[in-house]
Structure 1
Amino acid sequence: MRLSELLSKAPANEEAQVERFLNARLPWGKHKTIEVGKVAINFKCKTCDNVRTFMSGDKLSCLGVGERVVSIDACLKCPVCKATIEAWFLVVSRDELDVQAPTVRLERYVDNRRDIASRIGVGAGDFDDLLERAQLAYEERLGAGSMVYLRKIFEAITKQVADIASIPTIGNNGGRKPFRNLLQEVDEQYHIIPLAFSSDGYKLFSELSEIVHGDSNEEVALQKYYPCRSLVIGIIQNVASDQEMKRAIDALGWNINGLNVPSSGAIVP
């Protein structure tokens, strides 16, 4: 595998053995131009209003950061309208960086899209906006912040499925129904919780809430981010694929892309 193939999988923190890309150790603070193939990442180009594969040139800029760490900069261009964005990759090696076939990991990835492009979501309309905000918070190492957005999605889709199914969200005392009870009623009727997690769907919300309210440290939040994100995406997909739910949404003149999810707000508990 060439290094460009690994970088093209960003933002996933993949690890792989790659072809040699440095012939000698790169000292701290020293730059070197490397030829490792073109980096290609899919974005939705806002000028084209379509998904495009933004590609780098043949040469990338590599900066020595540590004995086994390099920083790589790339400029990615839309192949149609030629709009450009910047991308930065922090690459860490298990071995010396200048060995024949180093095993390296994409430790961190940042892109500067400058409102030129947006990342590709999971096809869930407004939920994609919140998922992207969660991902960006994670990439900035804001564990609690990333969980805030995941919890907003979980709450929003559960309450709106309840609305579609005519399940009351107000309790007997006139106040808001406890979320645990609402989730149980919604899941019993529409099975929105992924099967692998169906034994205790509220546990996911508890995990998110515990982190959001400061009962867990940032490192733990970051470790739990991807499992929680996968489960939240599973809930979105379950709702989107349920035929009875689709009929109910259509009858109301809605669609999964139009569910009303707040997409603004600061990253705070």
Structure 2
Amino acid sequence: MMDSSRQKGTERNMKNFEVGHLPTLIYIPDFITESEETHLWDKIYEAPLSKWKSLKNRRLQDWGGVVHEKGLLPQDLLNYLNKFGICRTMSITVPPWLTKITQRVYEESGLFPSDINHVLINEYGPNQGIMPHQDGPAYFPVVAILSLGSPVVMDFTPHSRLKTCTNSWCKPEEETLNGESVDANGASDMIENHHPFSVLLMPRSLLIFKDMAYSDYLHGITNNEMQPYDEVINKAVAMMPDKVDQSSLSLGKAVEVNDGKGFKVIHRTTNRISLTCRMVIKVHKNLFKF
């Protein structure tokens, strides 16, 4: 656990990286170095094929355990059960190269109440994305996403429950957001203050979102090689000359092009890897109490 004085200091530092109109969206360019990116990339692909799980639009590695609506079955418990044939899972503990980066995210952000205990490593092809979604109640409402490889644009859209309210009324079942009551005027204000937006995720960057950005928005990536970035909320930071390694937009990673209509577009030409770091609130040490 981090001491309170240090946590307050890191939280103040995080304010320097806030982007957009939400105070809970943080973008840190070059969170890791190019050599660290290469090291992580190599380690990820050194994992045995059986560690990968293939989905419709991507494949992933799951580190830390199995997340269930009731909490987390940690990796060490799964490995113990595996010895007795009770649970069929790869008997691999979270590797040091991964805990090193999650510990760094935890310490430097100061936004997690305790150590990060779950990481999803996602691999996306140039034309692959992920549908708009929320991460659910099993996690503490903070997400940190470290990007490797190709740049990509992530879209945030207001949750559909916000659209059920109008300027004059709000459906009874939708009268609360995040556990707080909302009157008609408050509902109208919420709608006006919730607008879709997009964020450009450059390689080696860290995106953190929490609170309203976590609970009131869906986030996703379109299944498209060509992604316009003119309207992203962090363009000034993400595309600063001293922050953009030109190899990020060349050498097969991505190419910056013009779509013929005056809009700048990133053409994704190679894979992107994301490390989604989260903290599951409930960790079960006893299978019989799960």
TM-score, scaled to structure 2:
0.28
User: Which structure has more strand as a fraction of its residues?
Assistant: 2
User: Which structure has more helix as a fraction of its residues?
Assistant: 1
Name the larger-Rg structure.
1
Identify which of structures 1 and 2 has the higher relative contact order when contacts are C-alpha pairs closer than 8 Å and 6+ apart.
Answer: 2
